[in-house]
Structure 1
Amino acid sequence: MARQARFCSPGRAHLVRLHAAQGASPLAAPDQRARFLQTMVQGLAQVSVRLHAYAVLPDAVLLLLTPQSAEDLSRFVQGLARRSSRARQAPQAEASVPVSREPAWAGRFQSALVQPGDWELTAMVWIDRAADRAGLSGASPWLWSSLGAHVGEAQAMPVRGPALSAPEAYWTLGNTPFAREAGYRERLDQGLTAVQMGELDAALRRGLAVGDDFFLRQMEIETGRRLQAAPRGRPRMNVA
């Protein structure tokens, strides 16, 4: 069966996830994560994509992006994966044995459309708290994420300025930078429910969308494709 084309709605935010291949940790070292961020900033200058949030973990990368075209989304994320891949050499008995190159990333990247507004903030919190869920962060924000930028901690802002742009939903948190940072910090402290995290993860794995029922129905009408998980179990039979 042919693989369904990736869904992309230009001009709207998309949640993106790169997963490491089994047994691989392509971004395990701090210098690898730092180079990845440099590559990410360079890549943004070459495509029409806005970056809203990011988390670079040893074995995964989470992004919230608004692309202007499906081609821009794929070009940007695939370029990140390609440039950050590294050859892993298998033990060799002789120098003449060819180098075994194993993939750093697991197949295609995952993506999901995100409803504008509150769901964008939900996705940002999910990304900015990714290091906490992985047990990686300490007392300070994870350096390789957008958390520091969103709460105004200058020491934890490796990506800033034009490379990182907040979505409209973030601007509604307050009329001043301090008010917006405080409002976002409050959302971080509240955290997410298990249902919210489950919906984000499921949408990514299935290439669907997250949002309320009205938004999802409207997008299905607009695009002509299913963007919600189908009901579980067999379809109900109509008995005459």
Structure 2
Amino acid sequence: MARLPRLAIAGLTHHVIQRGHNRQSVFLDDTDRLAYLTALREAAALQHVAVHAYVLMDDHVHLLVTPPTAEALSKMLQAIGRRYVSAFNRRHGRVGTLWDGRFRATVLESGPHVLACMRYIEQNPQRLIPPTAATDYPWSSASHHLGRRRDSLLTDHALYWATGNTPFERELAWRRLLDDPLSGDEVQAHTDSALKGWALGSGAFLAGLGATTERPMAPRPRGRPARAPRQRMVAET
């Protein structure tokens, strides 16, 4: 099956995944992690991409972002790739690629899907073996949303602000959401949609996106279409 063209739409929130080549580690220590966040901060500012949430795992990265143009997302990730890979290779005495080809991304419908994706991203450490509590993991946006530190990289999503009228209310609401794990089906849906490039939202949302491009928004049902029942011919008497 041919790879679908990446879906990027101005003004909509996107879930982005970057994976290490052959699932190798892309961060060997905290210096690497700080270098990546610096590259992300500068590239996002240059392209005016709003970064709402992130998590840095040993062999992959998740981002929740809103680009102002369809091209801004790719330009931001390309700039990060050039800067970070060069610094990583130089620092660790290696050559060659670091990331597993192009980044993966999906478009999210505003509403529950965005908040669920924020939870999916920040709960990533809890799915490790052994697990690390999302609230204790230092290399994600969770500490910012919980009010433990201010992260200048982040632009709070409007839906996060809608969880409470004051910072205290928002932080308490987010703590409750982080403490509530997504179901296995929800985790799989967010993983598959980003890796396979399928938009995530309601039928009306997918139909609206489909009207703007010939690219399919969701996988087609498996199997052959059902045949219409054959009519039985009855001779007239």
Task: Flag whether TM exceeds 0.5 (same fold).
Answer: yes
Q: Unaligned stretches of 5+ in structure 2?
A: 231-237
Of 135, 138, 145, the residue aligned with 1:143 is 138
Aligned partner letter, 1:232: R
**Take 2:226 and 2:128, find their aligned partners in 1: how far apart are those partners?**
41
Once the two structures are aligned, what percentage of the paired residues are identical? 31
**Take 1:199 and 1:62, find their aligned partners in 2: how far apart are those partners?**
15
Aligned: 1:202 with 2:192: yes
Aligned: 1:119 with 2:121: no
**Take 1:187 and 1:140, find their aligned partners in 2: how far apart are those partners?**
11
Aligned: 1:106 with 2:108: no
**Take 2:22 and 2:98, find their aligned partners in 1: how far apart are those partners?**
9
RMSD: 2.3
Secondary structure at 1:124 match in 2: helix
Shift of 1:234: 2.8
Task: Give a deviation string over 1:116-175, Cα, whole Å, max 9, x none.
Answer: 011111010011111221246358521111000011112xx5xx13x3111111111010
**Equivalent residue number for residue 96 of structure 1:** none
Secondary structure at 2:193 match in 1: helix
Alignment of 1:57-96 (within 5 A): 57-85=57-85, 86-87=88-89
**Take 1:53 and 1:23, find their aligned partners in 2: how far apart are those partners?**
22
Task: Give a deviation string over 1:195-224, Cα, whole Å, max 9, x none.
Answer: 111111111121111112222222222334
**Take 1:140 and 1:218, find their aligned partners in 2: how far apart are those partners?**
37
Task: Give a deviation string over 1:168-197, Cα, whole Å, max 9, x none.
Answer: 111110100111111111111122111111
Of 190, 213, 220, the residue aligned with 2:203 is 213
Runs of 4+ in 1 over 4 A off after TM superposition: none
Of 144, 150, 160, the residue aligned with 1:170 is 160
Secondary structure at 1:63 match in 2: strand
Work out which of the two has the higher radius of gyration on C-alpha atoms and give 1 or 2.
2
Aligned partner letter, 2:105: S
Q: Report the TM-score when normalising by structure 2.
A: 0.87
**Equivalent residue number for residue 94 of structure 1:** none
Is the Cα contact below 8 Å between 2:52 and 2:157 reproduced in 1?
yes
Is the Cα contact below 8 Å between 1:27 and 1:58 reproduced in 2?
yes
Is the Cα contact below 8 Å between 2:19 and 2:100 reproduced in 1?
yes
Is the Cα contact below 8 Å between 1:8 and 1:113 reproduced in 2?
yes
**Take 2:15 and 2:200, find their aligned partners in 1: how far apart are those partners?**
9
